[in-house]
Amino acid sequence: MASGDGLSPGQSPNADLTAGRCAQSLLRGVPDIDWSAPWLNGWRGVGETIAQKIAAGCPQPQALNEAGLAPVRFVPQSDLPEGQAYEDFIFAHGQVPTREGLHDFFNALCWMHFPQTKKRLNQLQATEIARAGVGQVRGPVRDAATVFDENALLIQPPDDLWAALTEHRWHDAFVGLREAWPATRLWTFGHAALEKAVQPYKSITVHMWRVPPSVLPSDIDAWLAQDLSADKLSRKPFSPLPLLGVPGWWPANQDPAFYADSSVFRPRRVKPQTEKPYAVEEIVPPV
């Protein structure tokens, strides 16, 4: 796996280094994508050919439209009228304003791989915009839909592995239960996470969304589009996963010491319990 001048396998990042890698990733372009990266498994068949056209000078919206695989058309960013919300424009016109570069490229590929789910996310966003307008704060549904759209990773693990991951028992999840990973299905989704992963660094973290064991790979898009309800999203059932911790996705994680870096594999934070005033004996309300 080509890592360019990103973080060397096993190196522990600090805040300044991570910020620097994020900034440098913005300088990367579609020609810099390493299609052999394991998180792009399943995306290469469609994406690599389109990327080659873009690298040869074809405007990105044109190259994406010529693939003919999305339920929307990709148009230049300048087609978005000033003052109109991006998601509202997509919903009204079936067109996606698209800039040159990695971020919107991966977003477009997601439209091709998960068309029903992307339409569902757009519908949820547009419904909330129609209900509440566009303000400085998106609100819980739009906020969670955006997090999912930008950063989700779908995972279909056994119960013991899911418990270890969501409880941040990282050593158990990645070392003790390592034999469970080959049978655990993963689908990358979030286009912002994929953009960062073009220049990998250890602290890239995605948001896991659990897929039940009964869902077949061929049904993943239809199932996900149904599963993404406003109510479920508003409860934010996400759990973090450092991307390069996935066994087989980064050479250095073969060494168990890779997971000892608490700046990346952080312990779970426990919210302090707050005692309600009436639970204190001397001020219990009278019956």
Q: Please provide the distance, in angstroms rounded to a whole number, between the alpha carbons at the two ends of the chain.
A: 69
Helix (H, G, I), strand (E, B) or coil at 23: helix
Which 8-state DSSP code applies to residue 56?
A: T
- Is 194 within a domain? yes
- Is 274 within a domain? no
Six-digit token pair at 155?
């995972």
* Domain span at 204: 31-264
Token pair 């919300």 is at which residue?
85
- Is 85 within a domain? yes
pLDDT of 153 above 90 = yes
The pTM (predicted TM-score) of the whole model is 0.84
- Is 35 within a domain? yes
Residue type, 162: W
Which 8-state DSSP code applies to residue 48?
A: H
Among candidate residues 149, 147, 256, 264, the one with its CA nearest the CA of residue 200: 264
Question: pLDDT tens for residues 59-117?
Answer: 999 999 999 999 999 999 999 999 999 999 999 999 999 999 999 999 999 999 999 99
- Is 130 within a domain? yes
- Is 18 within a domain? no
Token pair 């998601």 is at which residue?
87
Collect all residues with Cβ–Cβ distance below 8 Å to 185 and sequence separation of at least 6: 154, 155, 156, 211, 217
- Is 8 within a domain? no
How many structural domains are present in the chain? 1
pLDDT at 118: 98
- Is 112 within a domain? yes
